[in-house]
Amino acid sequence: MTSVTLKTKHKEEIKMLNGIDVSHYQGEIDWEKVKPQIDFAILRMGLGDDIKSQDDKQFERNYSECVRLGIPFAVYFFSYAVNKAKVAKEIAHIKRLLNGKKINAPVYIDIENTNGLNWRTISNADLLCILREFNKQLNTLGYKMGIYSSRSAFWNEKMSDKWYDGISKWVAEYGDKVNDFNRPYDIWQHTSNGRIDGISGNVDMNIMYNSIFTEEKPKPVPKPSKIDVIYQVWDDVKNAWLPNVKNTEDYAGIFGHDVCCVFANLSKGNITYAVHYKGGKWLPEVTNRKDYAGLYNKPIDGIMMKTDTGRIIRYRAHLRRSNWLPWVTGYNSKDGNNGYAGILGREIDAIQIEVR
């Protein structure tokens, strides 16, 4: 069933969505067949006090099927709460039924006369007090409240207070339009004699004028915590370790002095590195500060680094009596200026490292 857009008295331009509301009276629904015929569904949860026998017998299955098939849905609960004490019992029932379930629409409280319950015996002020309590308790549980009721018997006669303006209204009025009702409403239940392939017997049919569904806001991706790299080098002129450097706040080395060894670690995770010494070979790799990479008084001409943090580690080398070479992110001994920093045969006198 396709949604349509047309002009009506309700709003200047409305995209109408067609839906159904169901309970155990519809039996076991073939939701696979139903899905292409509707835009949304409203599922009855149960009624009255928190008694297992008053759960709707098909609610769990209907909920699971709508979730599985991606059918937009809301839920409703048939209320017998004639005072605040009863509200508390029904809220306990609702809380149990919705435990662990994801609902992105109002929870509708069904107010209608049935089975000896006559809401007309309750004053408008008392009814308002009861529904305000429902709203308060549902909000505390993290749900918005909506109200289902008939246009003539309740919305116009019993629920005309301004407070109801802020509540999602689901209005029952059978026929070809809603008569004599000038307040905004979200859903119109227009018949109880609808027919849908996949449901045996009649089913209530509804039109939604304003979307009741709240889009889930994407969770902000937490900004990765900064990982610092702390490193130092052995200077062949001073014949000593130079002070530690952090990230690219400075560089490790002294221009004109050869770097012979490197010593490094991360603030989080592991850094593995290896150096090549001039006229020699690549020395064994080192992780963190378990050892240092290099040989005293053997100038290095290549360095490569990697990390297990899932971040990019990049590094560069400054050539003695020359300039900085490009940043490198690789780790292999075959590919100069891509797999390692440096030029074999040319001494390195400074390095810089950072983790992004």
Round to whole Å and give the CA distance between 17 and 335. Answer: 62
Q: Could you tell me the pLDDT band of residue 114, with boundaries at 50, 70 and 90?
A: confident
Single-letter amino acid code for the residue at 293: A
**Helix axes 84-98 and 124-140, enclosed angle (nearest 10):** 30
Q: Do the beta carbons of residue 100 and residue 142 sit within 8 Å?
A: no
Residue 337, pLDDT score: 81
Q: Would you say the pTM of this structure is higher than 0.85?
A: no
**Cβ neighbours of residue 334 under 8 Å, at least 6 residues apart?**
none
Question: Per-residue pLDDT for 3 more than 50?
Answer: no
pLDDT in tens, 243-274: 999 999 999 999 999 999 999 999 999 999 99
Question: Per-residue pLDDT for 201 more than 60?
Answer: yes
Question: Per-residue pLDDT for 12 more than 70?
Answer: no
pLDDT in tens, 213-233: 998 777 888 888 999 999 999
| Residues above pLDDT 70, as percent of the chain | 96
Question: Per-residue pLDDT for 5 more than 50?
Answer: no
Average pLDDT, the chain: 93
| Residues above pLDDT 90, as percent of the chain | 86
Question: Per-residue pLDDT for 7 more than 70?
Answer: no
Q: Could you tell me the pLDDT band of residue 6, with boundaries at 50, 70 and 90?
A: very low
For residues 8 and 100, which has the higher predicted lDDT (pLDDT)? Answer: 100
Rounded to the nearest 10°, the torsion over CA 345, 350, 355, 356 is -90
Query: How many other CB atoms are found less than 10 A from the CB of residue 261?
Result: 23
Q: Do the beta carbons of residue 122 and residue 162 sit within 8 Å?
A: no
pLDDT in tens, 72-103: 999 999 999 999 999 999 999 999 999 999 99
**Maximum C-alpha span of the chain:** 101
